[in-house]
């Protein structure tokens, strides 16, 4: 079955530093990938839609200069949290749309802790 | 390595059918299991399960957890076309770590 991986699984960084999270579709091409963030009470918020070869589309309220998204190939999208602050600590999940079937698959998530 | 496996990956049924979605897990320091429904912008939270054998119910949806056998099921009875979505299972751990399954795509045909 289709698999989406995220790397790293968890990361701890200091305030002010930047951290990059990778999302890969391992056995299919994904022209579209989504990035989500988990908030209290288990709710997940869509941050942005990442399309291969073009600029990401950010949801209202998400700072594009802080959460840099790059979708450089059909199998890889990256989310870089720049100048991280403790309030950025969260669980970030990506999903990928399989190009041929349109089906959506989720990655296992990345836990970011900013100290 | 912690993992969450959902099955089937894809399922097509007709309106009125009953479906059972499966989620099995292998994690350390299990805390809770969550089910989400992904339709539009972001997955919608459905259930959180922490205790074995206690069914949680919301309308036509119900879910139960078996902590001994390390799995959970999500049942949907009398399915409707509006139930078509990707259903996600996630497992939370005591260290605040979480792992999501790949999801099950349910298609309900009229």
Closest by CA position to B92, among listed B49, B30, B17, B9? B30
Specify whether the CB–CB gap between B15 and B82 falls below 8 A: no
Taking an 8 Å cut-off on Cβ atoms, the answer to whether B45 and A42 are in contact is yes
Specify whether the CB–CB gap between A109 and A92 falls below 8 A: yes
Taking an 8 Å cut-off on Cβ atoms, the answer to whether B48 and A42 are in contact is yes
The DSSP annotation for A3-63 comes to -EEEE-SEEEE-TT--EEEEEEESSS-EEEEEEEEE-STT-EEEEEEEETTSPPEEPTT--
Over residues B54-67, the mean pLDDT reads 95
* pLDDT higher than threshold 80 for residue A104: yes
- What chain A residue is nearest to B104 in terms of C-alpha separation? A105
* pLDDT higher than threshold 70 for residue B81: yes
Q: Which residue has the tokens 């990256």?
A: A78
Closest by CA position to B106, among listed B7, B5, B34, B3? B7
What pLDDT is stored for residue A55 in this prediction? 87
What mean pLDDT value characterizes chain A? 90
What pLDDT is stored for residue B55 in this prediction? 93
B12 has a chain A CB within 8 A of its CB: no
* pLDDT higher than threshold 90 for residue B43: no
What pLDDT is stored for residue B28 in this prediction? 84
Q: Residue A2: its chain B contacts at CB < 8 A? A: 9, 102
Distance CA A70, CA A51 (A): 9
Distance CA A24, CA A87 (A): 26
Taking an 8 Å cut-off on Cβ atoms, the answer to whether B100 and A108 are in contact is yes
Distance CA A91, CA A35 (A): 11
């Amino acid at each position: 079955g289709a698999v989406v991986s995220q790397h790293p699984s968890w990361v701890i960084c200091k305030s002010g530093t930047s951290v990059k999270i990778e999302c890969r579709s391992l056995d299919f091409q994904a022209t579209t990938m989504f990035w989500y963030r988990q908030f209290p009470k288990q709710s997940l918020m869509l941050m942005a839609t990442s399309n291969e070869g073009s600029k990401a589309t950010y949801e209202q309220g998400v700072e594009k200069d802080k959460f840099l998204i790059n979708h450089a190939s059909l199998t890889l999208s990256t989310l870089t949290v720049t100048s991280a602050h403790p309030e950025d600590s969260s669980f970030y999940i990506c999903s990928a749309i399989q190009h041929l079937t349109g089906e959506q698959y989720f990655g296992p998530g990345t836990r970011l802790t900013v100290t | 390595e912690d993992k969450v496996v959902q099955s089937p990956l894809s399922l097509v049924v007709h309106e009125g059918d009953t479906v059972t979605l499966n989620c099995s897990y292998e994690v350390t320091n299990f805390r809770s299991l969550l089910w989400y429904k992904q339709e539009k912008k972001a997955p919608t939270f459905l259930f959180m399960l922490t205790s074995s054998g206690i069914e949680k119910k919301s309308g036509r949806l119900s879910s139960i957890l078996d902590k001994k056998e390390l799995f959970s099921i999500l049942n949907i009875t009398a399915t409707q076309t509006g139930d078509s979505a990707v259903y996600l299972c996630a497992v939370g751990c005591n260290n605040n770590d979480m792992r999501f399954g790949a999801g099950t795509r349910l298609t309900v045909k009229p």
